[in-house]
Each structure stands twice: as structure tokens, then as C-alpha cells.
Amino acid sequence: MSAILEVKDLKKYFKVPSGLLHAVDDVSFSIERGHTLGVVGESGCGKSTLGRLLLRLIEPDAGQIRFDGQEITALDDKAMHALRQKMQMIFQDPFSSLDPRMSVRDTIAEPLKIYGLAKSKEEIEKRVEAMMDTVGLSKRFINSYPHEMDGGRRQRIGIARALILDPSFIVCDEPVSALDVSIQAQILNLMQDLKREKGLTYLFITHDMSVVKHISDTICVMYLGKIVETSSTRALFRDPTHPYTQALLSAIPIPDIHVKRERILLRGELSSPIDPQPGCRFAPRCNHATERCSREDPLLREIEPGHYVACHLCDGVQ
């Protein structure tokens, strides 16, 4: 199976009063067509910035992004506008991402009008109603406004808006984090069904390890702008290798009072992402850090087929 998206050495730095904030720093990965890549990590690690870089909603400072075999980082605005029919996004907050002055009909129909994909009002109406049915949104809400609906229905509007152009790749930026648990399950199941029916490829951004386990084929773990581990979901949960990944998995609640798991507590201060010094960025919080970790950046190495880790513990040299 071929990769629909290939990212190599992607970087994005933001100027702040005290220097350059390294939001995304030398990130490389690929996503197979029809698969879901989960991106996890603490708030502020660069997940959302990464998602926006892939769609060029913000411009990268360096690196390559290849979509369907085409290098897109140098495309002009007109070419990117055309390409975004195949690259869409579902945002985190289903209320703030919707225009409060636009009805459900207008919100879902807007992409069709922008790209001129419907020849008449009747065709727009037909396609909007069909998409509402696809995402499980009753047609009685077609004239409703976001403030009249609950979070789950609002997110279904966001999903419908993303799907109306028939994309092949969707960036999902924490699409269920603002929803109740029962509604989360409904939205996740809907997204899984749509993935199978339409052959969609997802980049799924979340901080919830239970959610990412449910929906992802492969997982990337980010820490302060860097990917520290990437693997198939099954392998990552079976044998987490990077100390940060191990700490994340140890924090997942287990709904069984008879099962005990040793919690790995992270102590120490976060490294500054502003003009970071050489060395592993996780070292100040790592229980296994050595002197080498504080002076030398670990490389992302393949320790077994498809399993990559950026940790000096894994290269056998201390």
C-alpha cells in the first residue's frame, strides 16, 4: 500500500520576545492510504501546529510535504486552493469553528459554493441533505444555528463540512475532546464508519491515549516539537520503549479495581522550547537520563520493523 502523505524534516519556529520557539522541529513520518495515524503528547508539544502545517494553513520554515506524490510546500495559493479539495480538517471546538450567523444548510453548502461544485440551488440542497444523512444529522436541523444544538450535533456539522468536497485526507484536531464521553463514542464510531465507506485517511491528533488506541493504526508520540516514538498501535501498547511513552501509558485509567499498574511519575522541569540547548528534551524529566542525554540529540532509530524510537537507551551506547 502506498503512502498518501510523506513528511520529511518539517520545521516550524515562531518568533517570541526571548527567541525562537521550536514548535515543530525536524519531524518526519508517512501515512499509508486508508490508515489512521494518531499523534499524541502533552498540550504544547506541537500536535496542532503539525496538523496545520500539513494543510499549509501555516507555512513551514523548512522540510518537505508530499501529498499523493506531489511536493506541496512550494505550491502557490491557487494550486493549494485546488488541492485542499482533497485535504480537509475537523477542528477541536465544534462551537468556535462554526460561524454563529450561518445555518446548518449554509455551513455545509459553503465549500460547494466556493469550489463551484453545484450547478443549482436544488443540487446544493440535495447534496447537503445527503451529507447530513451520512453523518447522522436529522434533516429537521437544516435551518438551525450552532447555538441551538448540542456539542455532538455541532461536531457532526463540522464533519459534514469537511466531507462535502469528497476529500481523501482529513486532519482531525482533537475532534472529541470537547464532548461528553457518550457523545465521544458516537463521533468516533461515525468516523470509523466513514473511513471504511469512503477510504479516508486520517491524521488524528489527541492527548487521550484510550481514544488513540481505539481509532489509530499507527501512533506518533511527540514531545516538545519532536517525535520520540512511532509504531503500530498494537506494538506501542504492548511494548512502549521511550520513557515518555511508558509514562503516558502508565497514566491510562484501568476500569478494574483489582488490576494494579505502577504509575510512572514525571519529575523535574520542562525544557524550554525557546532556542533549546543540544540534548534530549525529555532528559530533565527522565528517570534514566545519562550525561550523554544532556549534550547529544537522540536520533529516531528503527529498533524493529516499523518501530522507531529517539532515545540513547536504545542504541546500546551510553
What secondary structure does DSSP assign to 141-200, as a single string? GTT--GGGS-HHHHHHHHHHHHHTT--SEEEEESTTTTS-HHHHHHHHHHHHHHHHHHT-
* Spatial contact of 31 and 3, defined as CB atoms under 8 Å apart: yes
pLDDT of residue 111: 95
The yes-or-no verdict on residue 120 having pLDDT over 60 is yes
Q: Can you tell me the mean pLDDT for 179-188?
A: 84
Question: C-alpha grid cell for residue 25?
Answer: 522541529
Q: Is the per-residue pLDDT at 1 higher than 70? A: no
Query: Residues of the chain with pLDDT > 90: what percent?
Result: 74
Residue 311's Cβ-count burial label (10 Å; 0-12, 13-18, 19+) is buried
Rounded distance between C-alpha atoms, residue 11 and residue 230, angstroms: 18
H-helix or E-strand spanning residue 123 = helix 121-134
Residue 286 near residue 242, CB atoms below 8 Å: no
Q: How far apart are CA 287 and CA 265, in angstroms?
A: 9
How high does pLDDT run on average in the chain? 91
Residue 316 has pLDDT above 60, yes or no: no
Give me the residues paired with residue 32 across strands: 3
Q: Is the pLDDT of residue 5 over 90?
A: yes
d(CA 219, CA 35) in angstroms, rounded, equals 11
For the segment 41-63, the average pLDDT, to the nearest whole number, is 94
111 with 164: CB under 8 angstroms? yes
Per-residue pLDDT reduced to its tens digit, 141-162: 999 999 999 888 999 999 999 9
For range 244-258, the mean pLDDT:
83
| Average pLDDT score over residue span 10-14 | 97
Tell me, what's the pLDDT at 245?
94
> Which of 156-176 are b and which e, b meaning 16 or more Cβ less than 10 Å from the residue's Cβ?
bbbbbbbbbbebbbbbbbbbb
Beta strands 70-71; 62-67: pairing state: antiparallel
pLDDT in tens, 70-86: 999 999 999 999 999 99
pLDDT digit string, tens, across residues 24-43: 999 999 999 999 999 999 98
pLDDT at 318 over 50: no
pTM of the model: 0.91
Grid cell digits, residue 193 = 464508519
* 31 bridge partner residues: 5
Section 120-147 average pLDDT: 94
At 258, the pLDDT band (50, 70, 90 cuts) reads confident
Has residue 208 got a pLDDT over 80?
yes
